Amino acid sequence: MNYPRNIPPETVSYLDSLRRDIEFSTLLRGEALRFRTTWGLFSPKAVDEGSRLLLDYVEIRQGDHSLDLGCGYGPLGLTLARLAPQGNHMLVDKDFVAVEYTRKNAKLNNIDNVDILLSNGFNQIEDRPFDVIVSNLPAKTGKELYYLYFYDALTRLRPGGRIYVVTITGLRRFIQRAFLEVFGNYDKLKQGSRYTVAAATFGG
């Protein structure tokens, strides 16, 4: 990129470094994974605490089909794809940069039992059924959007299927009320000082 001449060389070098992919390796649920990310994506330098906590509590069988709603660069959905190699796994995000990097990371980790789509919530998912739906819900999204997500999840879960979410702990009461209203049940799996993991079962 050609910068104006009055920008110091050290600034140019720094800006060029920011444009390069961030790369790191990590262990998630016993699976060694590599990730490439970029500035502007959520938690680009390491998998965030909430996602790690959520993965600790997700129950998934080898043949389960899963959905990662709001996948970012893919840590949740790609981990589930590794844990359930006989299943098919969908990862969606409304950010095209997130989708691009999730595709990069699936290829980087040789994970091919995945479909990665640009989708605003469920609007590109059609009627595909899932055994497991996971989401690291953003804290500042309106509760109206959460209700859309939950009712859309209700129509996509197979009987006995589970939805798992992690939120900031301040939203735990709302999630409890919403899950009881939508799914008829609520299971608080872990409450910490910062994050809470909750689940509900379709037909449970």
Domains, in order of start, for the chain: 47-201 (3.40.50.150)
What whole-number distance in Å separates Cα of residue 48 and Cα of residue 46? 6
What whole-number distance in Å separates Cα of residue 167 and Cα of residue 155? 22
**Residue 140 pLDDT class (50, 70, 90 cuts):** confident
What whole-number distance in Å separates Cα of residue 27 and Cα of residue 35? 11
**Residue 141 pLDDT class (50, 70, 90 cuts):** confident
Query: How far are the Cα atoms of 50, 60, 77, 114 from residue 85, in angstroms, in the given order?
Result: 24, 11, 12, 10
Mean pLDDT, residues 115-130 taken together: 94
Contacts of 181 by beta carbon, 8 Å cutoff, 6+ apart: none
What whole-number distance in Å separates Cα of residue 83 and Cα of residue 99? 21
> How confident is the model at residue 2, as a pLDDT?
73
Mapped onto helix, strand or coil, the DSSP state of residue 138 is coil
- For the record, the structure tokens of 21 come out as 């992919």
What whole-number distance in Å separates Cα of residue 180 and Cα of residue 186? 6
Q: Which residues pair with 67 in a beta bridge?
A: 90, 133
| Sheet strands (E) in 19-126 | 22-28, 31-37, 66-69, 89-93, 114-118
63-111 tens-digit pLDDT: 999 999 999 999 999 999 999 999 999 999 999 999 999 999 999 999 9
> How confident is the model at residue 203, as a pLDDT?
85
| Sheet strands (E) in 29-118 | 31-37, 66-69, 89-93, 114-118
150-185 tens-digit pLDDT: 999 999 999 999 999 999 999 999 999 999 999 999
